[in-house]
Amino acid sequence: MTTETVISVRDLWKVFGHKAEQVPRSEELKALSRRELIEKTGCTAAVREVSFDVAPGEVFVVMGLSGSGKSTLVRCLTRLVEPTAGQVVFEGEDILGAGRRRLRDLRRHKFSMVFQNFGLLPYRQVIDNVAYGLEIRGTSKAERLRRAREVIDLVGLEGYEHSFPDQLSGGMQQRVGLARALAVDPDVLYFDEPFSALDPLIRRDMQNEVIRLHREVGKTMVFITHDLSEALRLGDRILIMRDGRQVQCGTGDELVGAPADDYVRDFVRDVPRASVLTLRWVMRQPRPDDVLDGPELGPDVVVRDAVRTVLAADRPVKVVKDGTLLGVVTAEEILTVVTDVEAVA
């Protein structure tokens, strides 16, 4: 664990069933597929041997098909679900050893959750819903209302302080959910498919809202989704799960440029590659006949943003980082990505 880690997860297991504890301890049971494990022991392995780190300020996305273990994994991080084995270290503390009081403090002061069904209190006005987390913390009324107004403004709900949740649209209710989560100034925000009940346009608005809020408040976020375009838009890194196991963890361009297996390849098949891949994925080594006095671009420039420069140059564009030439790109490499969806996979 370094100070550059907010959450550090090691060999995490969550098994449901009577003999749950036996599964992570037995090499024989660990090796079984999920189906074989159910048949043999009656246990469901929802999360199997998952390890990852989340850095401060990172948006970390957990993605996978329905039933792959996303919700169970993220609930283990706050112990809403009790892990069967492994380690969850939060800001240097192994929270699997935390007692009830410590856990309650962590949930009140360090974590906030945003759920798909909003979880708002129906008989409370917006402002009291937003102030709720501060109320249970014991913050004075004047202070919690002041803070609630501040975050209501931050999420664009000014003027709706005294509305009740059922007077608001789904998108606005989710803004209340966001404001409530932000009001307590947590260290980490956990989102469990918060926008999947919203229609596509509102959903896009809310994704933009999260991007904007992240830029403004810089919180560490762990975000569950089964929607790859949402994952790519929001995530600094994406963990892909299948049947409880992690299949791959990486940046969007790593998943699209080098999918770990057919499951990931299937997920990323329809992604517009030019919008995700960066020059490091398409550049080639210079050849002896290349004239190397063309324009320079960085390796992290997205192909789509490099098209104009590359096509306008009459010599190879140099891909340079910290003064070192990493490779070159010409119209040929760029057009391969822009026109051929499977070219680099």
Q: How far is the CB of 181 from ligand ATP (least distance, A)?
A: 19
Describe the strand order of the beta sheet including 93-94 as a list of residue ranges. Answer: 44-54, 7-16, 85-90, 93-94
Residue of 300, 147, 193, 153 whose CA lies nearest to 236: 300
Would you mind telling me the total number of residues written for the chain in this entry?
345
Give the separation between CA 337 and CA 281, rounded to whole angstroms: 10
Residue of 228, 329, 211 whose CA lies nearest to 281: 329
Binding string, residues 69-98; x marks residues near ligand ATP by CB under 6 A: xxxx--------------------------
Backbone angles phi, psi at 81, to 5 degrees: -115, 135
Q: How far is the CB of 16 from ligand ATP (least distance, A)?
A: 3
Cβ atoms 95, 103 nearer than 8 A: yes
What is the CB neighbour count within 10 angstroms for residue 163? Answer: 17
Q: How far is the CB of 236 from ligand ATP (least distance, A)?
A: 21
Of 44 and 173, CB closest to ligand ATP: 44
Of 10 and 226, CB closest to ligand ATP: 226
Q: How far is the CB of 317 from ligand ATP (least distance, A)?
A: 42
What does DSSP assign to residue 278? B
Q: How far is the CB of 170 from ligand ATP (least distance, A)?
A: 19
**What SS3 class is residue 16?**
strand
Please report whether residue 115 would count as binding ligand ATP according to CB under 6 A: no
Give the separation between CA 255 and CA 252, rounded to whole angstroms: 5
Of 164 and 263, CB closest to ligand ATP: 263
Of 48 and 110, CB closest to ligand ATP: 48
Please report whether residue 41 would count as binding ligand ATP according to CB under 6 A: no
Please report whether residue 226 would count as binding ligand ATP according to CB under 6 A: yes
Which residue among 5, 41, 44, 129 contacts ligand ATP (CB under 6 A)? 44
Of 3 and 66, CB closest to ligand ATP: 66
Of 67 and 171, CB closest to ligand ATP: 67
Q: How far is the CB of 69 from ligand ATP (least distance, A)?
A: 4
Residues 51-70 that bind ligand ATP (CB under 6 A): 64, 66-70
Of 63 and 188, CB closest to ligand ATP: 63
Residue of 288, 304, 297 whose CA lies nearest to 320: 297
Amino acid at 241: M
Q: Which residues on neighbouring strands pair with residue 308, listed in sequence order?
A: none
State the number of binding residues for ligand ATP (CB under 6 A).
12
What does DSSP assign to residue 285? P
Q: Which residue has the tokens 């609930």?
A: 75
Binding site for ligand ATP (CB under 6 A): 16, 44, 46, 64, 66-72, 226
